[in-house]
Chains A and B, each alone.
Chain A
Amino acid sequence: MSDANEHLEKLMQELRRGTITIAVLSQLSEPQYGYSLVTLLSEKGVQVEPGTLYPLLRRLEKQGILDSKWDTNEARPRKYYLLSETGKEVFDLLVIEWKSIVKSLNGVIEAKGDDSNGTD
């Protein structure tokens, strides 16, 4: 059983890598700083490690999907991220793709039992 868990862990890591980006983008129509995103997402059941999230945010910013702004008014300076115009478009398209993946994968997973009946 531990063997299966080990495999599962590796596969989940790969699976999460892409979905985290969608989750992050979904929360950034309002400006957020890194750690507030971690808490926000974890409240909604999406676990993201800060060590993964922070570099991801910077990468997305570099690609032009996110805009960023330092807020130095508070006691602790924080870098806020927000979807750019391109980012909004990308996110909308990404959601459509995601839904279609979910749909087809559901189809595949649920059709699994029919395999023995042959193909048609």
Chain B
Amino acid sequence: MELINRYIYAVTQKLPQAQRKDIEEELRGLIEDMLDERVGDTGITVQDIEAVLLELGSPRKLADQYRGTKRYLIGPEIFDSYILVLKIVMIITASVIGINFVIQVILNPVEILDHFIDLIIGLVTGLPTAFGWTTFGFAIPEMAGAYNFKELSLESEWRPSDLPPVPDEKRQIKRGEALFGIIFYSIFIVIFAFSSEYFGVWRFTDEFTGVVPFLNEQTYGTYLLFIILIFGFGVIKECLKLVFGKWTYKLAAYTLIVNLISMAGVLLMISGPEFWNPNFVMELVDAGILTTGSEAFDIVSKIWEQSTFWIFILLIIGLIWDAVDGFIRARKK
């Protein structure tokens, strides 16, 4: 009898709580009926029980049949999206860690071994973390049954007119392009987040001796959040491109919105008087790179004064062109 209990337990523990009791009683009845059928009223041996349980099949298979649906951590309906997002997240994580390593090595080549160890540790801890959180994010709604399977279901009704047109060469977004964009933005995030003090004019006298920074180091901490957010938006934009796979009005509109937010952020940031290093030109002189009164000094001062304006103009042109280009490509049939 103990075998029967073990069998029933093995089946029901794989089933939802609410159904367990009912199924347990029904199964017990079934097994007893089958035993009766097999031996009548004479003594039941372990061999008989084993034979009956074998006939019923493995508990896992039986539980699967009771459940009706297979159990997934990530179901087939959302698996494609999951894999896509996972790839993006892994690429971003790996590139951030890799780029950080490269920068550290450039800045401080003597301690390359330490940097290398950091790289390995970063990869070993960072990649599984990224993998885990992505999977977690997808699995929780799956467990809660939150995905709308009517819409996502592989067998859901569809009309041939729903089929998306084969995108024109020019509407297609190359994956490499979007991935390159993601890596590009990641590089900047890493540079700004971890090594902002190296963002400037590098001084070399025989070897690297220091930096005349572009940015105001006193106020930098406040701006860092802005900077990361702006580049973060860039990453989001590239991810959207990757997900859409081709230019549509919707994507172009998203791009426009993201670009507008970035522009507003940049404008807020660089128009403030405290963003740039206020002593930049003087520090260049101190560093012996410039001498006051020389022609070069005038040119550099002028460029430095007007740089905010021109950077902003270039940025606006770039971002607007990015969005306009999207709309133009989306229009192409």
Q: Which residues of A contact B (CB under 8 A)?
A: 33-35, 39, 49-52, 54-56, 58-59, 70, 76-79
Contacts and interface: CB of A to CB of B under 8 A. Distances in A.
The DSSP consensus for interface residues of chain B is helix
B29 to A, nearest CB: 5
Contacts of A49: 55-57
Nearest to A53: B30
8 contacts: A33-B29, A35-B29, A35-B34, A50-B56, A55-B68, A56-B65, A76-B33, A77-B29
Contact of A76 (B23, B32, B37): B32
A34 B33 CA distance: 10
Interface string B5-32: 0000000000000010011011101101
Nearest to A74: B29
B5 to A, nearest CB: 16
B62 interface: yes
Contacts of A59: 68
A66 B17 CA distance: 22
Query: B27, B37, B65: which has the most chain A beta carbons within 10 Å?
Result: B65
Contacts of B57: 49, 51
Contacts of B27: 54
A51 B29 contact: no
B68 A51 contact: no
A33 to B, nearest CB: 7
A81 to B, nearest CB: 10
A76 B68 CA distance: 27
Contacts of B55: 49-51
Contacts of A77: 25, 29
B235 to A, nearest CB: 46
B119 to A, nearest CB: 51
Given A51-B57, A55-B68, A58-B23, 9 more contacts: A33-B29, A50-B30, A50-B34, A50-B55, A51-B55, A51-B61, A54-B26, A55-B66, A79-B29
Interface in B277-292: none
A58 B65 CA distance: 10
A34 B30 contact: yes
Contacts of B56: 49-51
A48 to B, nearest CB: 12
A34 B66 contact: no
B169 to A, nearest CB: 43
B25 A51 contact: no
Contacts of A34: 26, 29-30
Given A35-B34, A50-B55, A55 B26 contact: no
B65 A51 contact: yes
Query: B26, B27, B34: which has the most chain A beta carbons within 10 Å?
Result: B26
B36 to A, nearest CB: 9
A55 B62 contact: yes
A34 B56 CA distance: 13
Contact of A78 (B29, B34, B62, B68): B29
A52 B57 CA distance: 10
B35 to A, nearest CB: 11
Contacts of B66: 54-55, 58
Contacts of A52: 65
A77 to B, nearest CB: 6
Nearest to A35: B33
Query: A33, A51, A78: which has the most chain B beta carbons within 10 Å?
Result: A51
Contacts of B37: 35, 39
Contacts of A33: 29
Nearest to A33: B29
